Amino acid sequence: MREIYASPNGDRWYLVVDEASGRTFVRHASNEASGGNIADIPLSDFLAEGRSGPEHQAFWALLREAVGAG
């Protein structure tokens, strides 16, 4: 699990690779004031068209870094 982005309000997004199942997804952990809920988001949904929040921009920066295009 690797942190993608931490928002100023305390929400956090993580890229998760579940080695047991082979599943890759994004885990959103909301801040305590919002209930501290955890939501696992399929990668395809996270990357769906029209999603351009700072967590998405951070994901693309992480990917560029991973492939050496940072």
22-55 pLDDT, tens per residue? 999 999 999 989 899 999 999 999 988 778 899 9
Q: What is the pLDDT of residue 68?
A: 86
Question: Which domain does 40 fall in, by range?
Answer: 2-66
- Across the beta sheet with 12-18, what order do the strands follow? 2-6, 12-18, 23-29, 38-42
Rounded to two decimals, the pTM is 0.86
Q: What is the pLDDT of residue 50?
A: 75
For the chain, the domain total comes to: 1
Instruction: pLDDT band for 66, please (50, 70, 90 cuts).
Output: confident
